[in-house]
Amino acid sequence: MKKGIHPELHDITITCACGATFKTKSTRKDYKVEICSRCHPFFTGKQKLVDTAGKIEKFTKKYRKFLEQQ
């Protein structure tokens, strides 16, 4: 690495709105985030499933004429 062209790297703490903290390194000082892996619905298992059946039926109804021509 060339000297004098890279930004300084700091040990920082990332703080989430849920209260979780993470230690890492960054060129910025401390971060504050709204959501993290401890409170995100995908990682906690509380993710809501979307009803895709209604969307598929709507698509089929909309393009029925085109599908029947094939």
- For 31-60, the pLDDT digits (tens) are 888 888 788 766 666 666 566 667 777 888
Phi and psi torsions of 15, nearest 5°: -115, 130
* Rg, Å, the chain Cα set: 24
Domain with 21, as residue range(s), is 10-69
CATH code, domain carrying 39: 4.10.80.400
Amino acid at residue number 58: K
Does the pLDDT at position 11 exceed 90? yes
The Cα 31–Cα 41 span in angstroms is 21
Amino acid at residue number 21: T
Mean pLDDT of the chain: 80
Residue 18 in any domain: the answer is yes
Residue 4 in any domain: the answer is no
Residue 25 in any domain: the answer is yes
Identify which has the larger pLDDT, 34 or 67.
Answer: 34
Q: Render the burial of 7-25: b for 16+ CB within 10 Å, e for the rest.
A: eeeeebeeebeeeeeeeee
How many domains would you assign to the chain? 1
Q: Please tell me the predicted confidence (pLDDT) of residue 51.
A: 60
Does the pLDDT at position 70 exceed 70? no
Q: Is the pTM of this model over 0.75?
A: no
